Amino acid sequence: MRRTTVMMAATMVMLAAPARADAPATDTHATIAAAQKTIRDHYVLPAVAIALEQALARSEAAGRYRGLAGEELATRVNADLEAVAHDQHLSLRYDPKLSTQLGTDAHDDDGPAPAAIARAYDRQNAGVRELRVLPGNIRYMAYEAFVWDTPGSAQAVATAMEFLRGGDAYIIDIRRNGGGSPDAVAAIASYFVPEGTPLMRFEMRGQPPLETQAPKAPFSLASKPLYVLTSRNTASAAEEFSTHVKALGFGTLIGANTLGAGFRNNTVGLPGGYVLSVSVGRAVSRKTGSDWERIGVAPDIATPVDTALLRAQQEAMARIAAAAPADEHDEDEAILAYYRALATPVTSAHAVEAYAGAYGDRTVSVVAGDLMIARASRLPSRLVPVGPDSFAPETDPAARFNFAIGASGRAESLRIVQRGGAASVVPRDAATITKP
């Protein structure tokens, strides 16, 4: 079902046309009639399809759509669809450009994505928006669409997986991922489960069930901890991936319950420049025997969405430190303490001004209430309190800057402990000692 899955991701990845006050008048009846026919012929639940078709007919007869065009018509239609189906995949929007690209065939499942849509995917690196090495060699991937079957998608995923491979733990962030292709889901899951692992059964209206399994991956990432970040914006294919993570046990979900968009959809162009997303199948986990429609996928560790990454870093670092060889243990514990201090801020023993001053070629200053340290021409780094008079620099959180406070309540020297344990003490320049 390639067209099905690629088109769903397109509605998430491409910029939607904004509402336009000057939207041209269109034959509203033609738009509504085409929507009714598409729903009648393809909607996943036949009984609900009838109810949806009737709801649109009643609203048109009552004049609810009279004189409306563009996003105003789409908004009114969506309210009627929502009242019947409560289906996160069923929606109408005004997007003349995408409507033309899609055409009117909702079931050209084996065809490639239109060139313009494929180009839009690849300009956004097929959903792989960011790859980062976090302190402690935690490898982070921000993934915002499960894109497949475009010129660059397979290589984008392969590059991302190779990047993760070098880490001691992995974080995949799908908090902003609205879905996409089950093929992309299977490709990524295959790095964490054995080849042939049963994944999904797609129960498509009017077709035999389609079952998927994990393909063969070039290598395995299963030996290291995986954390997956979720939110209410995690939807559809991203929920499929979340289901596999949880049901097959190859990672830990952190964040909030996902959206609950469990149906599989097609996207079709309608007359007048409209685009209709219509649910055409039900996705069922072969492991659990159930779907996530209207329910979503619950996280293993519930935490506010905006702090989910930090919680994952703590969890990952604790696992890394516990398994660290002797020569890395102290460094890993220092980074873990840094992450914990970010999550639960530590109050320094003295006002930040007490630490400011020059220490050899380093300058400690107060900027907007934070303690900053700079050396020669290097960029400054914020110092995060990890103990009463102890700080970790954000640029190297395994290091420690420990201040010795004199009887006056001001710092007199700075003990610098580098990663690896080498330490040096630098007196504070007396000329820079000022009252805190």
Q: What does the pLDDT read at residue 101? A: 85
As given in the structure block, the two tokens for residue 75 are: 């908004």
Query: Can you identify the CATH homologous superfamily of domain 1-344?
Result: 2-enoyl-CoA Hydratase; Chain A, domain 1 (3.90.226.10)
Q: Read off the pLDDT of each residue in 60-64 and give the average, rounded to a whole number.
A: 96
Domain assignments of the chain as residue spans, ordered by start = 1-344, 352-432
Q: Could you tell me whether strands 381-385 and 169-173 are parallel, antiparallel, or unpaired per DSSP bridges? A: unpaired
Report how far residue 153's alpha carbon sits from residue 128's, in angstroms, rounded to the nearest whole number: 9
Q: What does the pLDDT read at residue 104? A: 67
Which DSSP state fits 23? P
Q: Is the Cβ–Cβ distance between 225 and 253 less than 8 Å? A: no
Report how far residue 202's alpha carbon sits from residue 283's, in angstroms, rounded to the nearest whole number: 5
Report how far residue 174's alpha carbon sits from residue 376's, in angstroms, rounded to the nearest whole number: 40
pLDDT tens, residue by residue, 110-164? 446 778 888 989 999 999 999 999 999 999 999 999 999 899 999 999 999 999 9
Q: What does the pLDDT read at residue 146? A: 96
Is residue 25 predicted with pLDDT exceeding 50? no
Across-strand partners of 171? 140, 227
Closest CA to 32 of 83, 84, 4, 68: 68
Dihedral angle of Cα 5, 6, 10, 12, to the nearest 10 degrees: 40
Position 103 confidence tier, pLDDT thresholds 50, 70, 90? confident
Is residue 20 predicted with pLDDT exceeding 90? no
Tell me the whole-structure pTM to 2 decimals. Answer: 0.86
Q: Read off the pLDDT of each residue in 183-189 and give the average, rounded to a whole number.
A: 97
In the block, tokens 């996902």 appear at: 258
Is residue 369 predicted with pLDDT exceeding 60? yes
Average pLDDT, the chain: 90
Is residue 105 predicted with pLDDT exceeding 70? no
Q: Is the Cβ–Cβ distance between 234 and 258 less than 8 Å? A: yes
Report how far residue 87's alpha carbon sits from residue 276's, in angstroms, rounded to the nearest whole number: 13
Closest CA to 250 of 157, 354, 170, 161: 170
Which DSSP state fits 114? P
In this structure, which CATH number among 2.40.128.50, 2.60.40.1930, 3.40.50.1100, 3.30.2270.10 belongs to the domain 352-432?
2.40.128.50
Q: What percent of the chain has pLDDT above 90?
A: 83
Q: Is the Cβ–Cβ distance between 149 and 115 less than 8 Å? A: no
Q: In 103-260, which ranges are E strands?
A: 128-134, 138-143, 169-173, 198-204, 210-213, 226-230, 252-255
Q: Give the N- to C-terminal CA distance of the chain in Å, as an integer.
A: 67
Is residue 268 predicted with pLDDT exceeding 60? yes
Q: In 220-356, which ranges are E strands?
A: 226-230, 252-255, 263-270, 274-285, 301-302
Is residue 57 predicted with pLDDT exceeding 80? yes
In the block, tokens 């000329």 appear at: 431
